[in-house]
Amino acid sequence: MRDSYRKQLETLHTELIRMGALCEDAIASAVKGMLEEDEAFREKAIQLEKEIDLKEREIETFCVRLLLREQPVAGDMRQITAAQRIISDMERIGDQAADIAELSSFIAANPMAAGLIRSDIHIGDMARAAVEMLSGSVDSFVAGDLGKARGVIEYDDVVDGLFGKVKSELIELIAKNSGYGGQCLDLLMIAKYLERIGDHAENIAEWVVYSITGNRGHEQRS
């Protein structure tokens, strides 16, 4: 591989790491803004979504130039194609982090809903699991680690399980006190956004598998 081309691929990896870090920060800020009722963190998540959009455009332009100038084949071509798909999923993650931040603003304005967040509902656990999936999926791409990518794909079951737990907890709260209905629906929507973030992280890991093997990760699952 030509030295100049190798350096460009290293630049691509670096930019993907930066975009992934922005996404992780956006999720963490949105959830912290929700759990701590902190408007500054919610605003930060919304601002980070704009930075993520910009980074997606920058990386997409870089990938197109790389394809046109270097005309890569086989595995190299798959790697660049996978990067283009990965940044699309990360852009959606940024959108959903901003959605969580915006929705949590409504929750913070309602003391009853804010109290629910500080109860035993497992939304914080869902957020941590989703961030772990995102971090692992980006790391697996940069390292070309097939095992790690497949581990992320399997870990999506954990996020799905936590979503089911949160949903059951909210249903139980509504059953005990119907006055919680509107607040519980807001919290359920936030949990759904976190589940979708996990799905996007799983997609990223599947594109990592594709970049290495030529097959998407879900095609490997039984």
The string of pLDDT tens digits covering residues 118-155 is: 566 788 889 889 989 999 999 999 899 999 999 999 99
Distance separating alpha carbons of residues 39 and 22, to the nearest angstrom: 19
Structure tokens at 62: 């870089």
Environment class of 57 (CB within 10 Å of its CB; exposed 0-12, middle 13-18, buried 19+): exposed
Domains of the chain: 3-220 (1.20.58.220)
What is the pLDDT at residue 119?
61
Question: Residue 103: how many CA atoms within 13 Å on its side-chain side?
Answer: 22
Asked if 70 and 5 touch (Cβ cutoff 8 Å), the reply is yes
Closest of 23, 176, 45, 24 to residue 104, by C-alpha: 45
pTM (two decimals): 0.89
Q: Which of 106, 109, 21, 11 lies closest to 61, judged by CA? A: 11
The model's pLDDT over 160-183, given as tens digits with 9 standing for 90+, comes to 999 999 999 888 888 887 777 777
Q: What pLDDT score does 118 carry?
A: 56
Q: What is the pLDDT of residues 3-36, one digit of tens each?
A: 788 888 899 999 999 999 999 999 999 988 887 8
Q: Is the pLDDT of residue 216 over 60?
A: yes
Single out the residue of 219, 221, 200 nearest to residue 210, CA to CA: 219
72-81, 103-112, 203-212, range with the lowest pLDDT: 103-112
Looking at residue 222, its pLDDT comes to 36
Whole-number mean pLDDT of the chain? 87
pLDDT of residue 164: 96
